[in-house]
Structure 1
Amino acid sequence: MTATPTALVISTRAADFVWRCGGAIALHAAKGYDVTVLSLSFGERGESARLWREGKTQQQVKDIRRAEAEKAAGALGVHEHVCLDMGDYPLEFTAENKARIVEVIRKVQPDVMLSHSRCDPYNTEHMNTTQAVLECRMIAQTWGHDPGEKVLGGAAALSLRAAPDRADGLDAGHLPRHHTSLGPQAGRHRMHGRAAAPLGLLHPRRAATGRPLQAQLWRPVGRARLPIR
């Protein structure tokens, strides 16, 4: 019996996965992937100005943002949405929180992981997220971290970035009807493979060929799609 392919999207805040890679999530869920979304924060401080102006408390804002994220995840066909509630502005990448990320990575055992671009000077917490994800992916592969748990095998790591100027092979027709309210950019997303230094990852283009995967050093590959064929 063939194992169900898995993907893990690690989103800084609960809104990020929707508009940055909603089209890719919906497409891959439709292709049979179990897509898990890990939101590190509800985005209760920086992305909820209207709710604060309405006089909501922080817990009320979190509850509203959680409900919105769960509804969006359901519309996209997400297998499971997890939120670690790590705070917001600032997002705290403590050793404890990194261990929680590692725990999710090991539980999902993803064939491919997506997180933010390594360069986002407007919101440095997106860059910090990707750096933490790369570190946690590395830790998840080490046998000495929480011995007895299943370690992570090779997982392709790509970064996500919205591309409202062009549709790169995805369109809103791939999305559930009630999700197309995001408008024409709902399906306009690009997957970018990037690295500033060699990392022990799987090459996304090799993954896309369907040939046996072999661990190798990461190298810049330009635009890369998730390994769907």
Structure 2
Amino acid sequence: MKNFNIKTLAIAVVTLSVLASCKKENSTVPADAKLSTANGLAVSPVTSTPTAFTEATTKGTIALVSGVYNVRNFHQGTVADLTDTTKWASKASTYYYSIVNSDGGNSTTYDFKFQGSATGDFVVNSDKFDLYYTDVAFGSVSGSTSRTALTGGVIGYNTGTTIGWYNYVISNHQVTAVANRTIILISKIAGGANYKVRINSIYYNATPAGTPYATNYPFYSLDYQRLL
């Protein structure tokens, strides 16, 4: 009987230790997972390691590096590429992105989207944000940086009369980002976070490829961060 009690006590101690450990693990949330648009940063990812998007129609990766969200090869579609599982064989005509989820979005959850010619127009969700731009390098833009409103909520092809985020080179049909042009999203929600966005490239791995003209688009490379 004495041995039975000792064994029972030992099992109880182990059980309590496991329960305490589980409780501790469940209450410990990675620092980045606690972030939200309420305090200015999105929910995920939790490390600086590029992580695949989880939204069903979205491919590409995202990483959080020194407070900046790095989105690479972002694109959306409906039919998977059987040769390269990181791509869609059938790309969508509109790409939706959700800042609050740090992931692809849809027509009801997006904060901004890409649509139009070559899916090159950056369009803000006007229910959530007003759209601005500034010709200041992304890393130098703060909440106090002077900015100019884009009343149509769209920034795309840069021409002599229209402000855009990209230039189109007719000789080789390539798209290049306008140097130091930073997109700014100002929240319409009281107390909401404002963001700055830099679009780096529209090509897969940020490198035009194809003969005679590049065909590996649109695979967006962009960065965004809360404005302080």
Question: TM-score under structure 2 normalisation?
Answer: 0.26
Instruction: Identify the structure with the greater helix proportion.
Output: 1
Instruction: Identify the structure with the greater strand proportion.
Output: 2
Higher RCO (C-alpha under 8 Å, 6+ residues apart) = 1
* Greater Rg by CA: 2
